[in-house]
Amino acid sequence: MFYRGAVRRPATDLVEERCRSALQRVQGMPFRWSLNPYGGCIHRCTFCYVRAFEQRADRPSGEAYGRAVRVKVNVAAVLRAELARRSWQRELVSVGSATDPYQPAEGRYRLTRGCLEAFIDFRTPISLITRGPLVVRDIDVLSALSRRAQTSVIVSIPCVDEEVVRLTEPGTAPPRQRLRALERLVAAGIHAGVNLAPILPGISDDQARLAASIRAARDAGATFLWAGVLHLKPGTREHFLEALARDWPELLPRYQRMYAGRSYLPAGEAGPIVERANALRRAHGIADRRVLRLEPAPEPRQLALAVGT
């Protein structure tokens, strides 16, 4: 393996653009609003479900995906205007649902940080998901937001096997770097856990790999862990199967059978995988064990009512 810390990435074009809206309404998810300061992602994960959206938008979804990242240079200002509307009800916002908010461009543009500062000022709860260790740069604003609104950070670590990661997430930081970031977030009192997804049948779903990943999450202090199995929508399916044929050709017929005519693995096949992960999560004691626990303080009027003034 050549994976020893430095991530090898192809050249990426950063395309600056101005957005008309920051918050996007979402349907069929546990949250109603999402925010993505960037479009496109340098990580180029073979299984990335966003490839399906890119294909529908007539943008590259295959090998060229991630070679250009759209930078919404005015997103923080637009977000502030939207949060300032009288109609805004401070609903939960998912940050990074379609592209990583801490991919390398964030080091230059600091758009995610600017958005977090807006959420602080408007006491808006968020759930942020990332594969980027750069998230530790913003521990100060994430801590401040945690004191004003419910805040969670989800570190995506589908597997700690570095060979699997090298082949399926070619542009990401090694799992050990993400685990160190998680450890620092939790030590700061932030509610932070792991997204163990997607689990790849025949690749990362065996007992040993699942146990290693969950044990590593526990040792890093994860306050929660969620597991899910790969799904393949058109746009993602084609690229993933091409990568599978290259890296695990013996598994290609199995995947073609499992996902024939469907995007999601049947419950009878996905259920046992998730249950194994959940059993390991319970066995390893994944729980909120923060020494320092940051929680939102009551708003001034709520505090006044509580003390009867």
Residue among 12, 21, 18 nearest 40 (CA): 12
Q: Is the pLDDT of residue 1 over 60?
A: no
The answer to whether residue 283 is domain-embedded is no
* DSSP sequence for 55-104: HHTTS--STTTTSEEEEETTHHHHHHHHHTSTT-----EEESSSS-TTST
Q: What is the per-residue pLDDT across 87-126, written as a single tens digit (0 to 9) for each?
A: 999 999 999 989 999 999 999 999 999 999 999 999 999 9
Q: What is the mean pLDDT of residues 282-298?
A: 95
The answer to whether residue 171 is domain-embedded is no
Domain that holds residue 150: 12-156
Other beta carbons within 10 Å of 107: 11
The answer to whether residue 304 is domain-embedded is no
Give CA–CA dist 224/244, Å, rounded: 30
The answer to whether residue 208 is domain-embedded is no
The answer to whether residue 166 is domain-embedded is no
Single pTM value for the model: 0.91
Q: Specify the range with the lowest mean pLDDT, choosing from 58-67, 81-90, 214-223, 228-237.
A: 58-67
The answer to whether residue 54 is domain-embedded is yes
Structural domain count of the chain: 1
Give CA–CA dist 98/170, Å, rounded: 18
Residue among 64, 76, 125 nearest 295 (CA): 125
Give CA–CA dist 234/211, Å, rounded: 31
Handedness of CA 132, 136, 140, 143 (dihedral sign): positive
Cβ-based burial of 211 (10 A; exposed 0-12, middle 13-18, buried ≥19):
middle
Give residue 258's pLDDT. Answer: 95
Q: What is the per-residue pLDDT across 58-91, written as a single tens digit (0 to 9) for each?
A: 666 556 666 789 999 999 999 999 999 999 999 9
Give residue 304's pLDDT. Answer: 46
Give CA–CA dist 46/152, Å, rounded: 26
Beta bridge pairs of residue 231: 264
Name every residue whose Cβ is closer than 8 Å to that of residue 87 and which is 6 or more positions away in sequence.
none
| C-alpha neighbours within 13 Å on the C-beta side of residue 167 | 17
The answer to whether residue 147 is domain-embedded is yes
The answer to whether residue 275 is domain-embedded is no
The DSSP secondary-structure symbol of 134 reads G
Q: Are β-strands 38-39 and 93-95 bridged in parallel, bridged antiparallel, or unpaired?
A: unpaired
